[in-house]
Amino acid sequence: MMSLIDYFANPLLVLYRLFEKLAISFGFSPSILKLKDSQAKPPTASASPSYPPSLSTPFPSDSPLGLDCEMVGVGSNGRVSQLARVTLVRSLVAEPTRLPHFEVVYDVIVKPQKKVTDFRTKYSGINKEILRSGLPSVPLVSFSEARAKVGKLISGRVVVGHALCNDFGVLSLRHPRVLTRDTALYPPFMSGQGKKKGRR
């Protein structure tokens, strides 16, 4: 069984579970959406570097993207969020009658802009060593590079995610509301009396 840290150390798995919830809500069986063990495991030291990822099929200009960011805390109390990792995935299956399969489009560790006072490892999967050196298959880049790349990739596309206001906030990006699909605003996933059910 994966630990909580392993789970959050793999944004691809987090995004997959987001899409899984959406698929289940539309009547798909959860048993056929499970990831294989090899897909669910986070990167290890023995993994072979593979960047940039080679996309197996052409990347249509209107293909929706799933976005997830991991954050660490800065400031005296660590409550101010700073980008530490950003991942974009896309679905390879467009037909509504078929279950989705996902592919990583962009996945990087982001160099800290300010001194990190709370790594939030329990939730982010990020620690001091990862921010210093990256991961074997996930490169370390500057914030400006990550922001520019994500901005270019999502331009004109539908973006799917959970509590996307947090992700766009740490990326210092704005995205048209009409092109945003936020599961935190999807009624079946909202808790309480109209309150958002967010991860952070």
19: phi > 0 → left, psi -120 to 50 → alpha, else beta; which? alpha
Low-confidence winner among 37-41, 102-106, 159-163 (lowest mean pLDDT): 37-41
Q: 176 is in which domain, residue-wise?
A: 4-35+64-189
Select, from the ranges 1-10, 31-40, 162-171, 182-191, the one with the highest average predicted confidence (pLDDT). 162-171
Tokens 């490169």 correspond to: 139
Of the two residues 10 and 49, the one the predictor is more confident about is: 10
Domain assignment present for 59? no
Average pLDDT, the chain: 76
Residue 168 maps to which CATH number?
Answer: 3.30.420.10
pLDDT classification of 172: cutoffs 50, 70, 90: very high
- 32 closest CA partner among 93, 91, 102, 99: 99
pLDDT score, position 186 = 82
Enter the tokens of residue 152: 């270019």
Domain assignment present for 199? no
Domain assignment present for 151? yes
Count structural domains, the chain: 1
Domain assignment present for 41? no
Torsion, Cα 158 56 18 199, to 10 degrees, reads -80
Domain assignment present for 51? no
Strand ranges (DSSP E) for the chain? 65-74, 80-91, 102-110, 116-118, 140-141, 159-161, 180-182
pTM, two decimals, is 0.68
Domain assignment present for 124? yes
Query: What distance in Å separates the CA atoms of residue 144 and residue 69, rounded to the nearest whole number?
Result: 15
Contact 131, 72 (CB under 8 A): yes
